[in-house]
Amino acid sequence: MNPVLILSPSMRTPSETDTTDGVLAEQLLRLTRRLHRIQKRHMEPLGITPAQGRLLRLVSHYEGAQPPRMADLAARLEVVPRAVTTLVDGLEAAECVRRAPDPANRRVIRIELTETGRATLRRLRNARTDAAEEILAPLTADQREMLGGLLNALADVPPEGACR
């Protein structure tokens, strides 16, 4: 792997900034694709798709609170409700979640995590950790710490147009 010299923005011309940012964007995209492929490979033995895993993790965040409605899940995942129905159908068939009527409004269906779902979630977390270890294997502990700080800095930036 060839190291790339990154100059601070004040040391670059506008065209160099565009080129450097383009290279960084491409590297991030390649890394994201690689991470998805590796995670998918680690998740395949569990019989869960990445989208189902994401939904399962989201449902688990409601543990101890009122279970989410399908509309809540669709909004949080930023997908149409029909997509959530398909994901829930698959997870219900695998006995990871169950549909339960809301006691206050029988027309509302809530999605609950089952014991099988909790066990699957633990296995999913292990698979994700294994995938991360595979990706991060070439880095030293110091490099991992530095990368973590950089990723936090990028993740903590509010989206354009958002209020601070």
Task: Let me know if residue 67 belongs to a domain.
Answer: yes
d(CA 18, CA 24): 10
What are the tokens at 159?
A: 């989206």
Task: Let me know if residue 73 belongs to a domain.
Answer: yes
Task: Let me know if residue 65 belongs to a domain.
Answer: yes
Task: Let me know if residue 77 belongs to a domain.
Answer: yes
- Predicted confidence (pLDDT) per residue in 18-64, tens digit: 688 889 999 999 998 998 899 888 888 888 888 999 999 999 999 88
- Residue-level pLDDT at 17: 54
Using CA atoms, how far residue 160 sits from 17, 29, 78, 163, 164, in Å, is: 19, 20, 18, 9, 10
Q: How many distinct structural domains can be found in the chain?
A: 1
Q: Is the pLDDT of residue 10 over 80?
A: no
- Give pTM, 2 decimals: 0.70
What are the tokens at 84?
A: 């959530």
Domain region containing 89: 27-132
- Residue-level pLDDT at 164: 47
Residue 115 sits in a domain whose CATH number is 1.10.10.10
- Predicted confidence (pLDDT) per residue in 135-157, tens digit: 999 999 999 999 999 989 988 77
| Cβ neighbour number for residue 116 with a 10 Å cutoff | 14
